[in-house]
Every structure is written in C-alpha cells, then in structure tokens.
Amino acid sequence: MAITEEHVLNAISGVIDPNLKTDYTSIGAVKDIVINGRDVSLTIELGYPAKSLHDDIVRKVRNAVGTIGGVGNITVNVMTRIITHAFQTGPRPVKGVKNIIAISSGKGGVGKSTTTANLALALVAEGAKVGVLDADIYGPSQPTIMGVSELPMSSDGERVDPIEQYGLQIMSIGFMMDDVQPLAWRAPMVTQALMQLLEQTAWKDLDYLLIDMPPGTGDVQLTLSQKAPVTGAVVVTTPQEIAVLDARKGLMMFQKMHVDVLGVIENMSAWVCPCCGEITHIFGQDGGKRMSEAYGVPSLGQIPINAAMCMQTDGGMPAVAAEPDGVMARIFRDIAHRLTGIIARKPKDRTGIFPPIKVVS
Ligand code: ADP
C-alpha cells in the first residue's frame, strides 16, 4: 500500500505539544510533506520559540510516523514562525514589534524586573528576537540588571536606537530621568513619555517586547494598558497573602481594560537549602498558584529564592545570561515556553489587513 499524506497526518495527530496543548495536525503545523516511495520528510512549524525542545519534538514525530506500515527513511525538521497576535481594540501596532507582553505586579520588590530580564533572556536563548522596555518609573532597574551604562543614540535623527545587550534590545525610562525626577512628574506626563519611548524607539523586528510595568494599578498603568497594543499581561507576585491581594487588583485591572491576562508567575516561592535540598516556604505556599486558579488564568511557574540570582541581577548579569545551562535558566525556559505557547494559541492580529478608513464629506 502506498503511503499518502493522510497517513502521515493521521499518524502525527497523536503527538501533543506540551505548550500548545494540542496536536500538530489539527492546527495545520505539519508542512512540506514529501513522500518519495517509502521515505517521508516533513516540517513542523511552531508558533513559539522552542530551540531546546526541537530534538524532543523530532523524536516524537519520527516515532509517530514510524508506526506507518512499510515506511522507510523519516526526516523531520522543526522551525518557528512567530506572527502578530490579536490585542485589545483601539491601539495600532508599534513599528518593529510583533507582540507586546506587559509584566506587572501589585507591589514593588516582588521581583518583577528580575523576572522580566530573565524571561526575556530565556526567550532569546529559545530563538526569539526580544526587546525590553523598562517603564517602571518608580524604580527603573533594567539598566542596572542588564549592566548597561551608555545612553541611547539616534542613527536616523528621528527614532532612538535601543541599547543592545545579551542579544536583547533595551530601552528604559531611566535613560530619560535622574534619581529625583520621577516623583515630580505628573501621571499624564509620565504616560506621554512612556508612549513616546514605546513608539519612537527603533525596535528591530521584535517577536516579543516585554514591558517592565510600574507596580500597582495607578493612572500610568491604566493608560498604558489602554493605549499600548498589548498582546497580554503577566502578573508577578510573591506567595504571601498581602502581595497576592495587590496582584489580584492588577489582574482585575487588565481584565477590565480587555487586556488578556496570560498567566501568573510566583516568585520567591520557596527556599531550597543548597546543602540538603530541603524546601522551606518562607513567604507561605502557592499564593500565586491559588490566585491563578481563583481567576481562571494559567499558572506559568514558580521561581525559588536563589541567592546567586540576587547577586547576579544586582551585578548586571541576570542568571540566564550568567549560567545559561543552570537550574534558574531551566526554570525561566519552562516559563517562556508556557507563556509563548499560550500566545501562539491566540488569534492572529487582523488590524493590519484593513486600511485606515477615511471619512469624506
Ligand atoms: P521589582 O521589580 O518587583 O521591584 P526586583 O526585580 O527589582 O523587584 O527585585 C527586588 C530584589 O529582589 C532584587 O535585589 C532582586 O535581585 C531580588 N530578587 C528577585 N527575585 C529573586 C529570587 N527569586 N531570589 C533571590 N532574589 C531575588
């Protein structure tokens, strides 16, 4: 019996992607099927960056195709194609940026900036083009975390070039203010400055732009979630009840503004003793997880307290850059897969296909 495309697609329909939570056949991710006698070759096209998963995907798909009777050589390629996904109605896309992810928290000091930096680096390691916009007016810490001290310049005299570091494109509100200025700025001025930074930075072909948001749910956060084309928001919290209560307000603010909440990350979830491996829940247990269950949003992961990570972050080289194969890098990689797997399941942005409507009287 001759092998057909249908045989191949049927065989692969049993392979479930752990981050897309679906099989490759039903979402049309199986491309370029070539059947040459008994030999089969094909490509799996992923909508999210997952370099470290490619070998595993190839193995599973090969095994599945191998169940077809009489099959010969099997060649499986995996590639990623990231598209622009839908965002809230109103804003227009930002030039050079496919998807914006707002990283938020209820309180300061829960590790939102640390999480943003490491998550961005994990996405780069997985093969994505990533930018970070530090919009945390109360404590713009990305320049410190990323070890960046030079000020951005403009090469075309119109837009400002982001600073490139560790494979990321970085822009910070901190580049525009000195230590005392932020307190003197009124909310409309801050939002205007942030929108300008977002729109007038010369982002180059970004798959994801992570915005390190100011903590809380004030005017600035509200306006940003209204004016910036946000694919989705991520809420970072520590497990203690008092932090979760504030994080909850942030989650509700995004839902009210029709910004999709992509998930909750619980930081400082536990202390793992480096000597004996005993786990101590210093700040309580599973607060972020419980919040995600209560509000029906995904739990993206739990990050333990890690003394080395604290020193690396404060010293200008985040954990994922300092130890790309370390345990913290693995945790952030898993979170990156879950997050971008969720984004990949969102519908495509359709604003680009309609030309602006002109009213003629
Ligand atoms: P936020 O942006 O929420 O204000 P930061 O990311 O600036 O918080 O983190 C506050 C401090 O906590 C920093 O010194 C950072 O290095 C440290 N920190 C964050 N997450 C962890 C963690 N999981 N383990 C150890 N230290 C952490």
- Which range, of 20-24, 268-272, 303-307, averages the lowest pLDDT? 268-272
> Residue 270 pLDDT more than 60?
yes
- pTM confidence score: 0.93
Answer yes or no: do 311 and 201 share one domain: yes
> Residue 178 pLDDT more than 80?
no
> Is residue 270 one of the residues assigned to a domain?
yes
* Ligand 1 center from residue 304 Cα (angstroms): 11
Give every CB contact of residue 152 below 8 A, 6+ residues apart in sequence: 160, 161, 162, 163, 171, 175, 201
> Residue 187 pLDDT more than 60?
yes
> Residue 183 pLDDT more than 60?
no
Position 107 scores a pLDDT of: 87
278 CB burial (10 A radius; 0-12, 13-18, 19+): exposed
> Is residue 89 one of the residues assigned to a domain?
no
* Ligand 1 center from residue 109 Cα (angstroms): 6
* Ligand 1 center from residue 223 Cα (angstroms): 26
Answer yes or no: do 208 and 62 share one domain: no
| Ligand 1 nearest atom to the CA of residue 139, by list position | 4
Domain boundary, last residue among 29, 46, 80:
80
- Of the chain, the percentage scoring pLDDT greater than 70 comes to 95
Domain boundary, last residue among 80, 105, 121:
80
**Strands of 81-231, DSSP E:** 97-105, 130-134, 163-165, 168-172, 206-212
| Ligand 1 nearest atom to the CA of residue 307, by list position | 25
> Is residue 55 one of the residues assigned to a domain?
yes
Answer yes or no: do 165 and 268 share one domain: yes
pLDDT, one tens digit per residue, over 118-151 is 999 999 999 999 999 999 888 889 999 999 988 8
Position 354 scores a pLDDT of: 56
Residues with CB under 6 A from ligand 1: 105, 108-114, 139, 141, 267-268, 303, 305-306, 309-310, 313-314
Mutation choice for ligand 1 from 103, 104, 114, CB with most ligand atoms inside 8 A:
114
The enclosing domain of 23 has a CATH number of: 3.30.300.130
Answer yes or no: do 64 and 102 share one domain: no
Position 361 scores a pLDDT of: 58
pLDDT, one tens digit per residue, over 69-110 is 999 999 999 999 999 999 999 999 999 999 999 999 998 989
What residues pair up with 131 in beta bridges, in sequence order? 169, 209
Answer yes or no: do 141 and 276 share one domain: yes
Which protein residue has the closest C-alpha to ligand 1 atom 12?
A: 111
> Is residue 110 one of the residues assigned to a domain?
yes
> Is residue 92 one of the residues assigned to a domain?
no
Give the span between the Cα atoms of 76 and 118, in whole angstroms.
31
Answer yes or no: do 69 and 119 share one domain: no
* Ligand 1 center from residue 39 Cα (angstroms): 52
Answer yes or no: do 283 and 142 share one domain: yes
> Is residue 86 one of the residues assigned to a domain?
no
Overall number of domains in the chain: 2
What value does the mean pLDDT take over residues 6-24? Answer: 97
Confidence of residue 355 (pLDDT cuts 50, 70, 90): low
Max CA-CA distance within the chain?
A: 77
What value does the mean pLDDT take over residues 13-20? Answer: 96
Give the span between the Cα atoms of 6 and 58, in whole angstroms.
19
Tokens at 3, concatenated: 């092998």
Answer yes or no: do 223 and 273 share one domain: yes
Answer yes or no: do 69 and 215 share one domain: no
Answer yes or no: do 169 and 64 share one domain: no
Answer yes or no: do 320 and 246 share one domain: yes
> Is residue 106 one of the residues assigned to a domain?
yes
> Is residue 51 one of the residues assigned to a domain?
yes
The enclosing domain of 218 has a CATH number of: 3.40.50.300
Position 275 scores a pLDDT of: 78
Answer yes or no: do 247 and 273 share one domain: yes
* Ligand 1 center from residue 238 Cα (angstroms): 10
Confidence of residue 348 (pLDDT cuts 50, 70, 90): very high
Give the span between the Cα atoms of 223 and 253, in whole angstroms.
11
Residue 261 belongs to domain spanning: 97-344
> Residue 18 pLDDT more than 80?
yes
Position 184 scores a pLDDT of: 67
Higher-confidence position of 50 and 359: 50
Q: Please, are residues 122 and 332 in contact by the beta-carbon 8 Å criterion?
A: yes
Domain boundary, last residue among 80, 111, 127:
80
- Of the chain, the percentage scoring pLDDT greater than 90 comes to 70
> Residue 182 pLDDT more than 90?
no
What value does the mean pLDDT take over residues 170-192? Answer: 77
Which protein residue has the closest C-alpha to ligand 1 atom 5?
A: 111
Position 279 scores a pLDDT of: 76
Closest CA relative to residue 91, chosen from 281, 224, 246, 191: 224
Position 351 scores a pLDDT of: 80
Confidence of residue 357 (pLDDT cuts 50, 70, 90): low
Q: Which residue has the tokens 């004030």?
A: 218
pLDDT, one tens digit per residue, over 301-338 is 999 998 888 888 889 999 999 999 999 999 999 999 99
| Ligand 1 nearest atom to the CA of residue 212, by list position | 2
